[in-house]
Structure 1
Amino acid sequence: MNHIGVPVSDLDRSLRWYEDVLGIAATGVTISADNAALGAVLELENPAMRAAFSLVGGNVLLELIQYHRPTPKPFEGRNCDIGVMHLCFEVDDMDAAVRDLKERGVHLNSEPVVLANGEGVHPGELAGTKILYLRDPDGIQLELFELPK
């Protein structure tokens, strides 16, 4: 995989948030496009956008994209809606991550959940894994994932 593109409402704010909250620093590579030919590729009429890349996990780029044209709609997808995806980040210490997120005022969907056998988890698969969903400044769903020790 090369990159994951995520449209955001304010590129500079999102870059700061992803670095400050999740520790994902921008690479310094940015692009701008205001090009009719790009419209055909994106299936958007006369798009204009600006994007920046951050390196995640050593080998995948996160591309945050702010469209100036056409005017984007706010994110309203639920986790169950077709096409809604989420980014999942593995953490070593869920409890420390939750404390940090709460201190920063980040929206957590709930407290972390520990997947347990007998609750829809089959033995040997994900039992003991801790998961947490949170939202970025645009309400985009993100997940933290701690594997059992």
Structure 2
Amino acid sequence: MNHIGVPVSDLARSVRWYEDVLGIAPNGVTISATNPAIGAVVEVENASMRASFALAGDNVLLELIQYDSPQPRPFTGRNCDVGVMHLCFEVDDLDAAHRDLVERGVHVNADPVVLQDGDGVEAGALAGTKILYLRDPDGIQLELFELPS
């Protein structure tokens, strides 16, 4: 995989948030495009966009994209809606990450959950894994994931 593109409403705010909150620093690569061919490729008529890239992990880039035209709609998807995806970031200490997120005022959906068999869960090979869902400034769902030690 080369990159994951995430449309955002305010590029500068999102770049700061992903760096400050998740430690994903921009790599200096930015692009802008107001070009009919680019618009055709992304199937957005009269597209005008700006994007910033950041290395997320060892070899996957995160592309944060702000469309200046046409005016984007706010994100309203739920995790169960077809086509809605989420980014998952592996952390070493989910409990510490949770405390940090709460202290920063980040929207955390609920307290961390440990995947264990029982109570309607069949964890299988992921038994003992801790998960946490949160939202970025645009309400986009993200997940933090701690593998069992």
When the two structures are superposed, what TM-score results if normalisation uses the length of structure 2? Answer: 0.97
* Contact residue 115 and residue 123 of structure 2 kept, 8 A: no
Change (3 A) 1:122 1:113: closer
2:123 and 2:24 map into 1 onto residues whose CA distance is 33
1:62 and 1:87 map into 2 onto residues whose CA distance is 10
Matched, 1:85 2:101: no
Per-residue deviation, 1:120: 2.2
Q: Bigger shift: 6-15 or 113-122?
A: 113-122
Matched, 1:121 2:110: no
For 2:139, the aligned partner's letter is: G
In structure 1, the partner of 2:5 is: 5
2:123 and 2:105 map into 1 onto residues whose CA distance is 35
Change (3 A) 1:9 1:115: same
For 2:52, the aligned partner's letter is: A
Per-residue deviation, 1:129: 0.6
Q: CA offsets, 1:14-52, max 9 Å, x none?
A: 000000000000001000000011111111111000000
Percent identity over paired residues: 76
Between the two proteins, the alignment pairs up a number of residues equal to 148
Matched, 1:95 2:95: yes
When the two structures are superposed, what TM-score results if normalisation uses the length of structure 1? Answer: 0.97
Q: CA offsets, 1:110-130, max 9 Å, x none?
A: 00001112242244x111110
1:47 and 1:117 map into 2 onto residues whose CA distance is 47
Q: CA RMSD in A?
A: 0.8
Unaligned runs of 5+ in 2: none
For 1:19, the aligned partner's letter is: E
1:57 and 1:38 map into 2 onto residues whose CA distance is 28
2:42 and 2:123 map into 1 onto residues whose CA distance is 41
In structure 2, the partner of 1:108 is: 108
SS at match of 1:50: strand
Unaligned runs of 5+ in 1: none
In structure 1, the partner of 2:70 is: 70
